[in-house]
Structure 1
Amino acid sequence: MKQDKRARRADEIEAAAYAVLEEKGYAGLTMLAVARAAKASNETLYRWYGDKTGLFRALILGNVTAVQATLDQAQGQSPMTTLRAFGPALLAMLLGPRAVALNRAAAADPTGDLGRTLSESGRDTVGPWLGRVIARGIEDGSLPRADVSEMIETYFALLIGDTQIRRVTGAMEEPDADWIADRAERALTRTIALFQAAQANSDLDSAGHRP
């Protein structure tokens, strides 16, 4: 019960942090400002998060919870089923208002520290997991033979493209679930098609049948 109460309080503090971030930007995201917005003590914030960077990291990790839940639910499912669930969950998170706020903060940080924190707690965490799913797909034949890292990069490029930048700059509104599902399916289908073609060409070369 005590742990549940702390989790609820942390959710309230992090919601307050997003409100401060959206209103004042990262420069205005002080521990004191968040404490006041959350009606919490400054001491609690420092005890739980350490410092402003620790709070920012907690916001990032909290934002990937939905994606992590999808990954957890996908345990034991086929690689293709997992990928079809993963794509929409990741894209919805990346294009949501909280991710936009975090990316705007990172873009405004001249030190680059926030960008590194965002990468370490986001893509650098999801990427290795995705690599393991793709490797299983290659092994069971549901995905074409390919370099796993190249397939990850291609898939991310087709899935995300310039949508994050457009959201951060305000050039794109938050898309609806149908748009996200359609883009995720097209990204997966095109990734597979590209690497199937590459595999076919490689097989022709190996067999000596290329004209």
Structure 2
Amino acid sequence: MTERREAVLAAVLALLVEKGAAALTMTAVARSASCSKETLYKWFGDRDGLLTETVRWQASKVRAGAYDRQHLDAGALRESLEGFAANWLSVISSETSVALNRVAIGQAETLGGIVLANGRFAIGERLKGLLLDARNARLVAFDDAEEAFRTFFGLVGRDIQIRLLLGDRFTIDGAAIADDARRAVQQFLALYGATKTPAQAG
């Protein structure tokens, strides 16, 4: 991802926030990003390709953090989970993510799958790697990584995303995000901590 391509994707998100999905044409993006339509078609193929790349770029901002798989301990696990939670909350509460998800909902048959595959599902696979490493280190106990991830996802997000998508105007500052992240991780580890058997955790 070059700086120039990132500038194009940032222009896509800005257009979505300012003018909505109807204004998102290759011509409008080219004008906003100060590049040619030929360049856009060369890089992204078409409008759906451009949106797909935009979703991937936005989702790539949510990471599980860096940790040493061979020396993963309770402190490192908690830090990585809190980092992921805070990162994800910051992304989903941004104007750009709200606009992008509204577009996907409005065009679910074409864009819904793109957002699911490159957003929620891709993010899930990244975090499940950490959860599986934590299970191997006997820090958590679960039978199904997908179910454990869904529980964590719910504890972190609660009703924040749906409220924002439906137009509830509230702001979440850095301190509130950090508090929410700590709370979610504490609750998750209370459910799936290594003192639980997989059956109890389920």
Q: TM-score range by the shorter chain?
A: 0.7 to 0.9
Matched residue, 2:148: 151
Which of 136, 140, 160 aligns to 1:139? It is 136
Question: Which structure carries more relative contact order (alpha carbon 8 Å, separation 6+)?
Answer: 2
1:126 alignment partner AA? I
- Specify the SS of the correspondent of 1:106: helix
* % identity of equivalent residues: 32
SS of residue matched to 1:54: helix
**Alpha-carbon distance in 2 for matches of 1:46, 1:180:** 38
Give 2:185's aligned amino acid: L
Give the TM-score, by structure 2 length: 0.85
Provide structure 1 residue ranges, at least 5 long, that are not aligned to the other structure: 1-5, 204-211
Q: Is the 8 A contact 2:11 2:33 kept in 1?
A: yes
Q: Secondary structure at the match of 1:154?
A: helix
Residues 1-211 of structure 1 aligned to structure 2 (within 5 Å): 7-68=2-63, 71=65, 73-74=66-67, 76=69, 78=72, 79-109=77-107, 111-196=108-193, 199=196, 202=199
Q: Deviations over 1:96-122 (max 9, x none)?
A: 12111101111221x522111011111
8 Å contact 1:67–1:93 — kept in the other structure?
yes
Max Rg structure:
1
Partners of 2:7 and 2:126 in 1: CA distance: 29
Q: CA RMSD in A?
A: 2.4
Indicate if the aligned counterparts of 2:128 and 2:145 stay in contact, CA closer than 8 A.
Answer: yes
- Return the offset for 1:202: 5.0
How far has the Cα of 1:92 moved from its partner?
Answer: 0.9
CA contact (8 A) 2:142 2:197 kept: no
* Rounded Cα–Cα distance in structure 1 between residues aligned with 2:171 and 2:50: 25
Give per-residue Cα distances to partners, 1:108-141, cap 9 Å, x unaligned.
Answer: 21x5221110111111112122112112212222
**CA distance 1:39–1:146, change in 2 (3 Å):** same
CA distance in 2 between partners of 1:200 and 1:17 (Å): 47
> Deviations for 1:156-179, whole angstroms, at most 9, x for unmatched residues?
111112211111222142311111
SS of match in other structure, 1:144: coil
What are structure 2's unaligned runs of at least 5 residues? Answer: none
Q: Kindly state the Cα deviation for residue 49 of structure 1 after the two structures are TM-superposed.
A: 0.8
Q: Measure the CA separation in 1 of the matches of 2:55 and 2:24.
A: 14
- Code of the residue aligned with 1:29 in structure 2: it is L
Quote the Cα distance in structure 2 between the aligned partners of 1:9 and 1:124: 27
Change (3 A) 1:44 1:75: farther
Is the CA contact (8 Å cut-off) linking 2:138 and 2:194 kept in structure 1? no
Aligned residue for 1:122, secondary structure, equals helix
Equivalent-residue separation in structure 2 for 1:50 and 1:201 (angstroms): 46
